[in-house]
Amino acid sequence: MCGIVGLYYFDQEKKAQASDLKVMADSMAHRGPDDEGFFTQDNVAIGMRRLSIIDLGGGHQPIFTPNKRKVIVFNGEVYNYVDHRPALEKKGHKFYTKSDTEVVLHLYDEYGLDSFQHLNGMFGLAIWDEDEKQLVLARDRIGIKPLYYYRDDEKVVFASEIKSILALPFIQAELDMEGVAAFLKYGFTPAPYTVFKNIKKIPPAHFVRLKGRDMQITRYWDVSYQNKLTGSEDEVAEQLYQQLKEAVKYRLVSDVPLGAFLSGGMDSSGIVHLMNELGTKSTDTYCIGFGQGFDAYNELEAAKRFATDYQTNHHEILVKPDVATLFPKLIAGLDEPLADSSFLVTYLVSQLARETVTVILSGVGGDELFGGYRRYLNVQMNKYVKVMPVWFRRNVVKKVLNSVPVDRNSTMLNYFRLGKAYFNTADMEFSQQYGSYTSVFKDDFREQLALHDQQIPNFYEKYFDECDSDDLLDKIMYYDLKTSLPEQLLMLTDKMTMQVSLEGRVPFLDHNMVEFAARVPSDMKIKGFKLRHIQKKAFENRFPDYVFQQKKKGFGAPVGVWIRNELKDMAHDLLSETYLRNQGVFDPKTVSKAMDDHFQMKEDYTDNLLALITFQIWYQSYLGK
């Protein structure tokens, strides 16, 4: 695991400087505290910081082909490198290390731009090919690892983190209002957007080819929801189990200590179960809780019970974090604002894990593949609500729900919140309904809020249309796979684990697993109103029963309580009329009304205020000067 950096000047007479690479790499030393390496040749320079995981002594980068004509820097892990090495050796390729990075380079040497099809793993990489006089950048299929680039008329600068690009004195941080509009709508910035002008994300499953003055971005993979599996539920469940087992097996290869996050839920428990079945004894497991009064976020009891049954070396932490201090530090670490409180939880549990391991397995992705989110039940709800008389739905149900108080920290008031959100969107087309249900700021609210609102692509319509299935559940899962999963959940997982030099691995997002899940019929994923039906069936009679019985809890933090308490002063300062007028990004009256309605419990604006607070903290970190 590493962080990579680089520069490419369009003018071949312009010399790239190793000193610039050093400045960039030093800004993200947390990603690679063990080693560094740089390569420059004329107008090209690439470099890295290394966290040693495989071939601790021999995996120094950059790595070259024997003739020195091709060179690579690599961030991530390719798990099937051991499968490819013998075949490459038979073709005459010579290896000088035991690292996966060298295999990736030789695969490129053999197959060129088609080589990425052969990789099973997570990565952001750069290859300088002197024979072709081209620089190739690539990101893994799902977007587990990030890769950003800056482009102007003179050059392209790339890095694993935005802060490394901005570390160069000749690149200034500027606000991109299209990126801000995307953030306000989605709560994150979908690729290729960022909130920085001239800085973009390479989308998942894409590579960039820089040759001369030409820059091409090409997609090399996509997931298909066609060719649904036709076997019985028992057969599909067994296939699921074996597919996940193979994905976990690949991710146990490590030359350093390895453990697993454990919440006690289906995904993390499934991974620990399979680790145990594969012979990983005395696994180190980690869980976090917030103590009494925060039952909706506290998974310590369930995790401890499972850990005891599986005899893991269990570590847990009960925290009352100083959020007013942690928020600025962690949001700066994210590079971009994010309307998702789980970044703080991920950081704290990663910090705990790093005390004893260097690699951690995580259950991220299970919800998106097998139907774990309550919002997916809208597909089923629509079947029943559509037969309800329209006048009753609009004039009775909506009227009642819009008149009651809402609060996600109360079980009853949270059901009112969910019901209100659903019935206020029930008459929309499904892509619009899902968009309204998952957007942070609705379009009319955003238009009032942002003083310089920009028109941005409708990613709901874009990915609903691109999905090759007519099934509604397939469409929303495809949308999530392309947007919130890589640029929200995986982004924060990468940034928060790497903040403490911990490598996170996600078995559910093995691309073979993703392709398998896409072929599972929707009625096997969600049966009636039963979420994760086929996933539960796969672990039936393998798990303790209590894993299936416990109520799902989100991997988040009690941010609603914090906004009313620990973050209250910060919120009022950063969202004050004076500050907002001087900043010139948001309308003070719209913000003031939202805050008043939230604190009076007329509306639940937790997500909205979290988005605004994180944006303002981010703004101070990167643009406040």
Q: Give me the phi and psi of 385, to 5 degrees please.
A: -70, -30
Cβ-based neighbour number of residue 112 at 10 Å: 12
**Neighbouring C-alpha atoms within 13 Å toward the C-beta of 492:** 25
- Residue 3: which region, alpha, beta or left (left: phi > 0; alpha: psi -120 to 50)? beta
For residue 397, the 8-state DSSP code is: I
To which residue do tokens 């948001």 refer? 586
Q: For the chain, how far is it from start to end, CA to CA, in angstroms?
A: 32
Q: What angle do CA 326, 327, 328 make, to 5 degrees?
A: 95
2 catalytically annotated? yes
Determine whether 319 is exposed, middle or buried from the number of CB atoms within 10 Å of its CB (0-12, 13-18, 19+).
middle
Cβ-based neighbour number of residue 464 at 10 Å: 21
Q: How far apart are CA 60 and CA 292, in angstroms?
A: 48
Cβ-based neighbour number of residue 589 at 10 Å: 12
Sheet containing 63-64: order of strands: 63-64, 70-78, 121-129, 134-139, 206-211, 214-219
Positive or negative, the CA dihedral 567, 568, 571, 573 is: negative
**Neighbouring C-alpha atoms within 13 Å toward the C-beta of 125:** 33
Sheet containing 503-505: order of strands: 313-318, 284-289, 258-261, 359-361, 503-505
Of the residues 1, 2, 44, 159, only one is catalytic, namely: 2
- Residue 148: which region, alpha, beta or left (left: phi > 0; alpha: psi -120 to 50)? beta
Q: How far apart are CA 393 and CA 402, in angstroms?
A: 12
To which residue do tokens 């609705």 refer? 442
Q: What angle do CA 498, 499, 503 make, to 5 degrees?
A: 20
Contact 50, 38 (CB under 8 A): no
SS3 of 315, please?
strand
Catalytic residues: 2
